[in-house]
Structure 1
Amino acid sequence: MKNPTLVAAGVVAAVLVAIGGWQLAERVSPADPINAETVVRGQKVYVANCASCHGDRLQGQPNWKEQTAEGVLPAPPHDATGHTWHHPDQQLFKITKLGVAALAANYKTNMVGFGDRLPDQEIWDVIAYIKSTWPPDIQERQRATTKSAAEQGLGPSGAQ
């Protein structure tokens, strides 16, 4: 006869492993907009490093779709009115770490990379903060874009 306590412990362990595996499978990016600690850290980093260009409410600079007299595109909004949510997290990470020129050499912008100033985790925290401000439908659409990029082999750092 089997020990009922051991059987119960085995069942509990199996359920926990299954739940953990499901959560791991559902996590497609280190930028978790549901994790309150991550979002708070990201907001602090955003205010200190990003708000001066992208706005304290993520609103971006005026006329962000139009080139300036110098041919530079102003900083876009990161709220739901912008296009940030159209991109997978992997690409957002790479832009933030390396600058826009790393992805689009002919795109004139003042966006420089922050890889020499911010550790990777702080970049992911900022992305999580930005995502946390979007409505649920936009969060889900962007999550699907990120998941698709991951399935195509685009890793968390933006590298294939």
Structure 2
Amino acid sequence: MRNGTILLLKVVIALALAGSLIVQVMILPAVWRDLESEVLWGRIVLVSIAALGVLSMQVFAVCVWMLLTRVRHGSIFQTSSFRCVNVIIGTIVAAALLAFSLAALLAPGEIAPGAVALIAGAGLVLAGFALLVVVMKALLRQAIEREVEARTLRDELGEVI
């Protein structure tokens, strides 16, 4: 991957993180105030789901940043990369569960059924992304194994020569 691409991705991640901080500091308190007429437990649950969703995105972004740094330094093909990948999978699954929870919470209320279906559909898409990352993790594992095999063969050939 080219350094320009990595830099561009990091700029996008930095902007997303800055935007998420604005959401945490300004938008979520405004949502809390807007829900003043709702029951307290409903306000707490809705704002908590939103806050956890933002948090999952932030953790995801930091892990992707760390992986991009590994790519740039040429150290992506190490087993320590799996830590970041596992956290990424976990955050995507958590976001999917949050979407399903929000859909279930909103379903009996006054919100349009189509909106609930869209939120549940977003949960399904997120679950699909988690499965995609699981497949990509398996590809990373294969690449690491092949790298180790190639290194071993080089070392053995060096000893023979």
Give the structure-1-normalised TM-score: 0.28
User: Larger helix proportion, structure 1 or 2?
Assistant: 2
Q: Which has the larger radius of gyration?
A: 2
